[in-house]
Structure 1
Amino acid sequence: MSSIDVFNLFRGFPSRPAKGFADLFPTRFNGRMSSVPIRGAVLDLGSNTFKLLLAEQAGGVLRITHEKAYPVRLGEGVAVTGRLQSTAVRRALKMLFFLQKIISSFGPSKVVAVGTGALRRARNRKTFLQPAAKILRQPVVMLSGLEEGRLIALAARSLSRPPRPRYHLDLGGGSLEVIDSQNPKKPKIQSLDLGCVAVRDTLLSRQPPSPDEWMRARGKIESALRKLPRPNRSAQATFTGGTGHAYACLLRKKNVKARRLENLPIRRAELIRLILQLLPLSPKKIARLPGMPEDRATVALPAFLVLDEAIQRLRLSKIRISTHGLRYGIWLAYLAKAPVRTIVR
């Protein structure tokens, strides 16, 4: 019996665009190349990590000064309780103080900070947003699932190598965004509560799971993904999120810089092999695997499961990693004065 056969035995509606987002950050390029450089900072306050991008753009060249994901786990427990945990808020605010110092030393002319999945879901989000606004000296803008997907799609379509993909998937801690760009002018965007932290907390809180728990988790994820129409034939697809980095590090059994993973294919056969490797292990044992990123140990299994189920649903044999996620979409939509032609790191 093949490994795939063994594995098979284990068997949000679109929201409105973020209110006030365009009013706060109205910059858009008009097709003309601007020679005036702009220094900007983008801060993506995600459910599992805070991602910071510091860059300067002159004409069509975007020069990256700093780009890093910082583990925070702000969304820990939100999928179960609907509330941010006090320890997570304190941890996140401490990190925000640190990041604000980095931003200030860079001296950007514009800063855009956005909140996503966990903050959308948390009823007590103000316990984080209000002190965060004081630290950053400006409000954090909440993105709806639809607006988040639109910005991710903008980055994927604008910065991916040809051929441009029909699908783009972004797996965060709180949600999974799936963008179908069969009609590029009117992409279909779905935001699903299938982030790796949310799935871990609600469906796979005990690791390793029992066979019944595993089958139930697969069934719930498969059911949620039925909102996505199945294509008639295979299509090109790209993927963003820390899960791609974990996949590459585990395959190569060493840490790999995320920026070197552009266009790396995630193949389903390899993904299944990794799932079977992780399935009987505790998070402590997973953390000790060669190459395993420390901050991904507790979410790697649920993340790989969600990705595999999505690949099956969309009839994909593989999906290519893109290093241009939400933060690049924000840059393109609200900071860039000209289309980005070249990225220099």
Structure 2
Amino acid sequence: MNESKSSPLYAAIDLGSNSFHMLIVRELSGCVQTIAKVKRKVRLAEGLDKNNQLDQAAMVRGWQCLSLFSEQLRDIPEQQIKIVATAALRKAVNAQVFLTQAEKILANKINIISGETEAKIIYRGVAHTSGGHGKRLVIDIGGASTELVIGEQSETRLLNSLDMGCVTWLKRYFSDSLSEDNFAQAIEAAKAVIEPVLSDYRRLGWKSALGASGTIQAVLEIITAQGLDERITYPKLKAIQQQVIACGKLETLNIEGLNEERKPVFASGLAILIALFESLQIEGLTLAGGALREGLVYGLLSQQETSSVRARTAESFIKRHHIDVQQAERVAHCAITLCQQVTPRLSDRALSLLKWAAMFHEVGLNIEFKKAPEHAAYIIDHSDLPGFTSAQKHFVSSLMLNQRGQWQAQLLSQQHALEKPEALILTRMLRIAIIVCMRRTEGSVPNINLLQNENDWQLCFPPTWSEQHPLRAAELELEAKVQSEVGYPLRVIEALC
């Protein structure tokens, strides 16, 4: 193994009860760049018998997977590699048999971590990769355990590792049928596991909820494939449950948006998630940007600031693509100031996405001007942006495409980050702000009042503004025509508003 301490590469391997994961990153100029992500379904927990003996077949599946991973570790210094094992190997009475051979294969030490440590590392991964403020509830449904954490910024406030997972619940409740009765038994059993710690979570409370597991990723893929927004809610989960029940058996499970690889443990994971929603009275859940393996990597790295994941991502992105920061901030301030005059009030989530869309809107100029919106959309869609969900990235990408020229209405119906009324307002505002700020100089942006009658808008500028600024006035008149022609009336007037 190359022991060079100058290597910028770091590796994290998570020997989970359902899947084994490997993450390779490079630390570069204060940001983290993902080099490789490898995942294999090993289903180690399937090999546990009633006495918690891990069978030979499960061990062999694990060793074969680690033989694939080992090649990638050869050129990474040992001190920059972290390998952990979780619930299945915590339970296995013969875990050492598996570990002895696994450590020979990887030429590295493997640590079996406690449920509490696992929960702490999961929260670190979420804190480093997901935006948000205030107390957060984090859920990770693994193969043999489920971690529940409440934290704020980078600190955990309450954590538990619960003895239930999508592989163990599969063996107990869904091996023969996907019936309504089996679901009811699985959900009630999960609620019984949650009950002893329930009062602690209700008492502490949280502002937002995030999920960091394959089950939650699968639910997100289903609801977006079926035309719904990315927020996971109880009615959506119950609707998916009915679709699963209608399939009857695992062999015939076929739901729009459900990946083939996720099918075997989806029903069991869904039952646990429904139980969590019911017990904790969760209003809505979004997918986190990372979990255990990201937490392991960030524990190895020198970068420890987690107060604003999106701000750190934006700073790196803007620097990498040579974006004019002053102009981007000017457009963002103009757009947000106008949005703050809209009724009903826009959500904080919408205003945050508008800010970052404005900050990124000129990224395509780094390639060329004529098709800059298309280039910007492509770059956003295909960049690793910690702190932004895939649906949020796609929405920002759609704003990039719609920032000037012909109005592209279909983009508003193809995104799942916001409800359409908010998405519409953000699209209109960004287009307007870009024109208002086209002088690119300090002090050139006037005070504008927005007069609104639902989607019928008037932009009220100071008297004689159009005479002093004829180019921007002409561009705004053209924009007013574009928006009005697609059913969103816009007029530009001058008055003492």
TM-score, normalised to structure 2, is: 0.56
Which secondary structure does the structure 2 equivalent of 1:162 belong to? coil
Match of 1:309 in 2: 275
Q: 1:93 and 1:209 mapped to 2: Cα distance?
A: 35
Aligned-CA RMSD value: 2.4
Query: Is the contact between residue 79 and residue 198 of structure 1 (CA under 8 Å) also seen in structure 2?
Result: no
Query: Is the contact between residue 45 and residue 88 of structure 2 (CA under 8 Å) also seen in structure 1?
Result: yes
> For 1:324, which of 279, 290, 302 is the aligned residue?
290
The amino acid of 2:244's aligned partner reads: L
Which secondary structure does the structure 2 equivalent of 1:206 belong to? coil
Which secondary structure does the structure 1 equivalent of 2:232 belong to? strand
Say yes or no: does 1:271 pair with 2:237.
yes
The amino acid of 2:279's aligned partner reads: R
Say yes or no: does 1:48 pair with 2:18.
yes
Alpha-carbon shift at residue 49 of structure 1 (Å): 0.7
Say yes or no: does 1:231 pair with 2:202.
yes
TM-score, normalised to structure 1, is: 0.79
Q: 1:182 and 1:192 mapped to 2: Cα distance?
A: 21
Which secondary structure does the structure 2 equivalent of 1:114 belong to? strand
Say yes or no: does 1:83 pair with 2:53.
yes
The amino acid of 1:267's aligned partner reads: T
Match of 1:250 in 2: 222
The amino acid of 1:243's aligned partner reads: T
Say yes or no: does 1:337 pair with 2:306.
no
> For 1:282, which of 231, 239, 249 is the aligned residue?
249
Alpha-carbon shift at residue 228 of structure 1 (Å): 2.4
Aligned pairs, how many? 297
> For 1:216, which of 182, 185, 191 is the aligned residue?
185
Say yes or no: does 1:64 pair with 2:31.
no
Post-superposition Cα deviations, 1:27-73, rounded to whole Å, max 9, x if no partner, equal: xxxxxxxxx76311101110111111000113420000112322111
Query: Is the contact between residue 176 and residue 195 of structure 1 (CA under 8 Å) also seen in structure 2?
Result: yes
Q: 2:134 and 2:294 mapped to 1: Cα distance?
A: 16
Match of 2:336 in 1: none
Query: Is the contact between residue 211 and residue 286 of structure 2 (CA under 8 Å) also seen in structure 1?
Result: yes
Query: Is the contact between residue 234 and residue 283 of structure 2 (CA under 8 Å) also seen in structure 1?
Result: yes
Query: Is the contact between residue 169 and residue 239 of structure 1 (CA under 8 Å) also seen in structure 2?
Result: yes
Alpha-carbon shift at residue 234 of structure 1 (Å): 6.7
Alpha-carbon shift at residue 163 of structure 1 (Å): 2.5
Unaligned runs of 5+ in 2: 1-5, 306-311, 317-382, 385-497
Q: Counterparts in 2 of 1:135-214, with a 5 A limit?
A: 135-181=105-151, 185-209=155-179, 211=181, 213-214=182-183
Alpha-carbon shift at residue 180 of structure 1 (Å): 1.6
Which secondary structure does the structure 2 equivalent of 1:228 belong to? helix
Match of 1:18 in 2: none
Identity of aligned residues (%): 24
Q: Do the aligned partners of residues 282 and 253 (structure 1) sit closer, same or farther apart at CA in structure 2, a change above 3 Å counting?
A: farther
The amino acid of 1:231's aligned partner reads: R
Alpha-carbon shift at residue 133 of structure 1 (Å): 0.2
Match of 2:452 in 1: none
Match of 2:69 in 1: 99
Alpha-carbon shift at residue 136 of structure 1 (Å): 0.6
Alpha-carbon shift at residue 165 of structure 1 (Å): 4.4
Q: 2:276 and 2:87 mapped to 1: Cα distance?
A: 18
Alpha-carbon shift at residue 292 of structure 1 (Å): 2.3
Say yes or no: does 1:133 pair with 2:130.
no
Q: Do the aligned partners of residues 215 and 113 (structure 1) sit closer, same or farther apart at CA in structure 2, a change above 3 Å counting?
A: same
The amino acid of 2:219's aligned partner reads: Y
The amino acid of 2:132's aligned partner reads: P
